[in-house]
Structure 1
Amino acid sequence: MTDTALPEPPPKRSKLPLILGLVLALVLGGVGFYATRAGLVPGLGSAEPEGEKAPSPLPDIAFVAFDPLVVSLGPGARSRHLRFTAQLEVTRKTEAEVRLLIPRIVDVLNSYLRAVSPADLENPAALVRLRAQMLRRVQIVTGEGRVRDILVTEFVLN
């Protein structure tokens, strides 16, 4: 008979380099976390503020609110009414002037919201475009530079 000797399997590799690499990665990760957290790495800051910093002063703004608007929607709409409330962001020196123009502002917003299609009102993504359109109309009524922004506080379809 022939002598068939099976080749010897290659020796198993040592797992020592893998274990050492894992331990070294954990140690270096911990040291890096500690150095960052303690503020030892420049430019990344520390967990505790270095000193009491005074907050920057608020901008010279005021908010002018007006009564909620209830707009009836057309017969093709799934909802019957829109309840809309907003506040106008103005500078303090123009606040009285804008308050004087509230009836005109309400009229413009009421007319605009009545003219918008019900599908646009029901689309949640259209609110950004609606805000921009309303802000532009309010700025035309009040004059440039008086109204900085319109903040929609309520927009409910029922």
Structure 2
Amino acid sequence: MAASFTHAEDDMGHEPPSRPTEYVPVAFVPLETLIVSLGSEASGQHLIVTAELEVDPDYAAEVTTLSPRVLDVLNSYLRVVALEELSEPTSLIRMRAQMLRRIQVVTGAGRVRDLLITQFVVN
């Protein structure tokens, strides 16, 4: 027996978007991987974070030039995050918002649209 669905659904039963998404030009600026010591030096635990900045293409070169300042502000923020906070389910969402806000202050308004976390590991 063949599956039957309407033209408004795909084979998984999902409705298509009501209107096409408009393409917005974007560029990505990769950041160096940060390795931050957590807790006391004796604990030996580290947070490893790799990320990219989603930027307006007109500002990609400028944001790339500012990446040492971006890394500095991220490193400063991450060093004061409590180890216990990292175990909370919503911590990455909250931390990502905090990091993005700091990055936007460093780079200037309208340059960085988003922070994409590609690696977030506590070891």
TM range (shorter): 0.7 to 0.9
- Correspondent of 1:140 among 105, 117, 122: 105
> What is the correspondence of 1:105-120 to structure 2 with a 5 Å cutoff?
105-120=70-85
Q: Aligned equivalents of 1:75 and 1:93: distance in 2?
A: 42
Q: Which runs of 5+ in 1 are unaligned?
A: 1-32, 49-54
Q: Aligned equivalents of 1:122 and 1:103: distance in 2?
A: 28
* 1:87 Cα offset (Å): 0.5
State the partner residue of 2:89: 124
TM superposition score normalised by structure 2: 0.81
> What is the correspondence of 1:1-158 to structure 2 with a 5 Å cutoff?
37=5, 39=6, 45=8, 58-75=23-40, 80-158=45-123
CA gap 1:122/1:76 in 2 versus in 1, 3 angstroms: farther
Q: Aligned equivalents of 1:46 and 1:87: distance in 2?
A: 35
Normalized per residue, the structure richer in helix is 1
* 1:112 Cα offset (Å): 0.1
Q: Aligned equivalents of 1:77 and 1:59: distance in 2?
A: 47
* 1:66 Cα offset (Å): 1.2
* 1:88 Cα offset (Å): 0.4
**Percent of aligned pairs sharing the same letter:** 50
- Structure with bigger RCO (C-alpha 8 Å, 6+ apart): 2
TM superposition score normalised by structure 1: 0.64
Q: Aligned equivalents of 2:41 and 2:89: distance in 1?
A: 18
CA gap 1:46/1:81 in 2 versus in 1, 3 angstroms: closer
CA gap 1:100/1:46 in 2 versus in 1, 3 angstroms: closer
CA gap 1:122/1:47 in 2 versus in 1, 3 angstroms: closer
On the 8 A contact 1:79/1:157 being kept in 2, the answer is no
Structure number with bigger Rg: 1
